[in-house]
Amino acid sequence: MSERNVEIAVIGAGIVGIACAYYLAKGRPSSRIVVIDPRAPMSLTSAASGENYRNWWPHPVMMAFTDYSIDLLEEISREYDDRIHMSRRGYALATREAKPDQLLKELQTGYGEGARRIRVHGAASSSTYIPPVSANWRDAPEGVDVLQSRALIRHHFPTFDQEVSTILHIRRAGDISGQQLGSLMLEQIRAAGGSLASARVKEIVKQHDGFVVTARGPDGEEKIRAGIVVNAAGPYIADIARMLGETLPVENIFHQKIAFIDNLGAVDRRMPFSIDLDGQAIDWTDPERQLIAEDPATAWLARQMPGGIHCRPEGGDLGKWIKLGWAYNRTPSEPRDDLPTDPNFPDIVLRGASRLNPRLKQYYGRLPRQITHYGGYYTMTKENWPLIGPMKTKHAYVAGAMSGFGTMAACATGALCAGWVLGKRLPEFAESLSLWRYDDEILLRRLRESASTGVL
């Protein structure tokens, strides 16, 4: 059995674990860091990322957290000549409600003192709304535009369902290449002397001066002695915590997406990342609905479905691909290496997405052969806030529970985790994102009473 000594062992080579190692290497360049994972880097949930980012959440803490992460993404974009392909056409949240009071209340709550950045456009003739013509993040407006004129919406979003009455256009939002971000960070980790261990952690033993991590790889078992352990194991963070004798308040929920070449031009290449917030009955024919309803295994597909369908162009203005996603699953499950994708999902999400984008109906029964169907686990706490900071075990840290926002929050997560480990001064919101928040009954009660957890 081989052995090695390191200062810091980061368990998990998804985007969050890589970001933790990256910012630890930046903060302490001489440290010996190893990232441990049995899979190739960025190959599990990170490979299924929507690669989107946004700064709007229905709580100021999460807004501050994601604003911080976007600041760091912009730094990387500038430093590395936009290798991460950062664009900013925003998020367009669409609803058929003319006065979505609860949604607007959450908008005001999230922006807090920055609520003056909310611009309401009620008439097409007097609107100062700037459409998402440019994808350059440096040129994009801040804040959010609330469009509450159907005429204005039809003018700027002509391919949307004509019944849409309100659009919240979140402006500090867009997409990046998550794979490029991970590759860039790995290069810098290696340049700083860090390494990868292709192995699965089997045991962690706490010793007075650190930990002994037993990991099994292709060449057998290895003992890695580390002074500090960072648990960034994605959907497996609870398993790693149990090895330390701890329990984390998380669950895993599997979600799916598809991507395909839009040969028929159903989606405008300049369209922002768009989300239909409204629930719906899926667009089945009457005979299809009857057959679906008669089978107990599929009857749920004939009932009212939740909102939150995603659609966006992929590959820039000259690309051809589009992505569709729908996080309708609510049932927790244990993570599996063989992902439980549903062969019916492509048809389900296509029909659901066609409500906001009716031109997608052209693909009913004729999806292109070049289609990618994939999925990943949303690892989340009940309040849908991450866990970043010290665990109960001394010198052990956690960075996880990123739900569907791992790519957009990776930089902030890595920087915060490094700050905790290295004893640096942390942003004001950092404690609220750590396990310490569970000692704050007032905060937890407010979060439990909140109408929204920010899941989109």
DSSP 365-429: T---SSEEEEEEEEEE-TT---EEEE-SSTTEEEEE--TT-HHHHHHHHHHHHHHHHHT----TT
Mean pLDDT of the region 216-221? 94
Q: Are residues 213 and 127 in the same domain?
A: no
Query: What is the helix (H) or strand (E) element at residue 441, kind and residue range?
Result: helix 441-449
Residue after which a domain boundary falls, among 380, 396, 425: 380
CATH number, domain with residue 265: 3.30.9.10
pLDDT score recorded for residue 449? 84
State pLDDT tens for residues 361-401: 999 999 999 899 999 999 999 999 999 999 999 999 999 99
Q: Are residues 238 and 287 in the same domain?
A: no
- Confidence band, pLDDT 50/70/90 cuts, at residue 124: low
Is the pLDDT confidence value at 90 over 80?
yes
pLDDT score recorded for residue 209? 86
Cα torsion angle, 326, 331, 335, 336, sign: negative
How many distinct structural domains can be found in the chain?
2
Q: Are residues 376 and 390 in the same domain?
A: no
How many CB atoms sit inside 10 A of residue 5's CB? 12
How many CB atoms sit inside 10 A of residue 224's CB? 23
Question: In sequence order, which residues have a C-beta less than 8 Å from that of residue 160 and are 6 or more positions away?
Answer: 94, 153, 154, 167, 274, 356, 357
C-alpha 446: how far from chain center: 23
Does the residue 37 lie in any domain? yes
pLDDT score recorded for residue 451? 75
pLDDT score recorded for residue 116? 77
pLDDT score recorded for residue 125? 60
- Between CA 442 and CA 249 the distance in angstroms is 18
Residue after which a domain boundary falls, among 380, 399, 428: 380
Are residues 178 and 42 in contact, defined by beta-carbon separation less than 8 angstroms? Answer: yes
pLDDT score recorded for residue 153? 95
- Between CA 181 and CA 187 the distance in angstroms is 10
CA nearest 283: which of 224, 350, 219? 350
Vertex 57, ends 257 and 334: CA angle to 5°? 45
- Confidence band, pLDDT 50/70/90 cuts, at residue 293: very high
- Between CA 245 and CA 241 the distance in angstroms is 6
pLDDT score recorded for residue 456? 80
- Confidence band, pLDDT 50/70/90 cuts, at residue 455: confident
pLDDT score recorded for residue 299? 97
Q: Are residues 271 and 326 in the same domain?
A: yes
Q: Are strands 144-147 and 280-281 parallel, antiparallel or unpaired?
A: unpaired
- Between CA 220 and CA 215 the distance in angstroms is 8
Q: Are residues 158 and 188 in the same domain?
A: no
Does the residue 72 lie in any domain? no
State pLDDT tens for residues 252-288: 999 999 999 999 999 999 999 999 999 999 999 999 9
Is the pLDDT confidence value at 115 over 90?
no
Expressed as residue numbers, the domain containing 398 is 2-51+178-250+382-449
CATH number, domain with residue 23: 3.50.50.60
pLDDT score recorded for residue 59? 92
- Between CA 281 and CA 289 the distance in angstroms is 10
Task: Report the half-sphere exposure of 329 (CA within 13 A, side-chain side).
Answer: 24
